[in-house]
Amino acid sequence: MTAGACDSLAPGPPPQARTLFGPAIGLAERYAGLLAGPGVERGLIGPAEAARLWDRHLINCAVVAELVPRPATLIDLGSGAGLPGIVLAMLLPDVEITLLEPMARRVVFLDECVRELGLGNVAVHRGRAEDVAGQFAADVVTARAVAPLDRLAGLALGLVRTGGLVLAIKGAGAGQEVTRATSVLRRLGARDVQVVTAGDGETGAGATVVRFTAGPAGSKAGRPGRRPRTGRTAAGNERVAGQRQGTAPGRPNRRSGSAKRAG
């Protein structure tokens, strides 16, 4: 799989994408080509998504970079086609990212993308969150289009250290999801639960994110709320062949020397 052969299948980036990605816009364009080409061919994203890759997917993920503390370790839960994990890796080279994905065909695509884009701060791990819980203790867990919040919270909190952040990219119904999941979040020890807006929602370059902090199980969860944020970012069970295993829990593997599921 080569990015050059796929670039023509993806639309060009809009002006706000060039602002958000900054020096990484070239990588983002190559990734868009991979999504629009092999990503569609292999069924990782729908054919109709190719025309709206930038607005609906790449920009929607890029704005989340402003919510990630740096430096940090990060696990992208249910990474699918690499959204938001690969996008965040382009923008945050000082964040070590593990793409956690249970499906073999998606893992193969992710590993190819990492090599094609030369993302040395990314490792791909095949596995389910339920199966690897306790083996990782990342600073941040991200998720996009993985599961309803009441279920997602349990999966994510099994992968993040106490005091770490969970960033769940959601849609317009985020507030209702938080309300429905309040008792679960409290039982799991989630604190400071908020619905925030990453990026500039007024111009469409924004994302709705449910953000909360991992506390000890059984501690009282913070009161759910909404606090808008605006801003811009400048800049396995089986292993994929050739992948290095990490040596310490919570530290994503680094791929040295190498070149969500959308929705």
Tell me the per-residue pLDDT of 11-41, one tens digit each, with 9 for 90 and over: 899 999 999 999 999 999 999 999 999 999 9
Average per-residue pLDDT for the chain: 83
Maximum alpha-carbon separation in the chain? 52
What is the predicted pLDDT for the residue at 188? Answer: 96
What is the predicted pLDDT for the residue at 74? Answer: 98
Q: What angle do CA 90, 93, 97 make, to 5 degrees?
A: 80
Query: Which helix (DSSP H) or strand (DSSP E) does residue 193 occupy?
Result: strand 190-200
Res 208 pLDDT > 70 = yes
What is the predicted pLDDT for the residue at 11? Answer: 85
- Using one digit for the tens of pLDDT, what is the confidence trace for 222-255? 444 333 333 333 333 333 333 333 333 344 443 3
What is the predicted pLDDT for the residue at 85? Answer: 98
Task: Work out the pLDDT band at 134, boundaries 50, 70, 90.
Answer: confident
The answer as to CATH 3.40.50.1260 being correct for domain 69-228 is no
- For 136, residues 6+ apart whose C-beta sits below 8 A from its C-beta are 75, 98, 159, 249, 250
Res 70 pLDDT > 70 = yes
Task: Work out the pLDDT band at 159, boundaries 50, 70, 90.
Answer: very high
What is the predicted pLDDT for the residue at 162? Answer: 95
Task: Tell me how far apart the alpha carbons of residues 246 and 250 are, in angstroms, rounded to a whole number.
Answer: 9
What is the predicted pLDDT for the residue at 10? Answer: 82
Query: Is 56 exposed, middle or buried, given 0-12, 13-18 or 19+ CB atoms closer than 10 A?
Result: middle
Share of the chain above pLDDT 90, in %: 70
- For 112, residues 6+ apart whose C-beta sits below 8 A from its C-beta are 1, 34, 38
Query: Is 106 exposed, middle or buried, given 0-12, 13-18 or 19+ CB atoms closer than 10 A?
Result: buried
What is the predicted pLDDT for the residue at 205? Answer: 79
Share of the chain above pLDDT 70, in %: 78
What is the predicted pLDDT for the residue at 210? Answer: 98
Whether the pTM exceeds 0.75: the reply is yes
Cβ pair 225, 12 in contact under 8 A: no
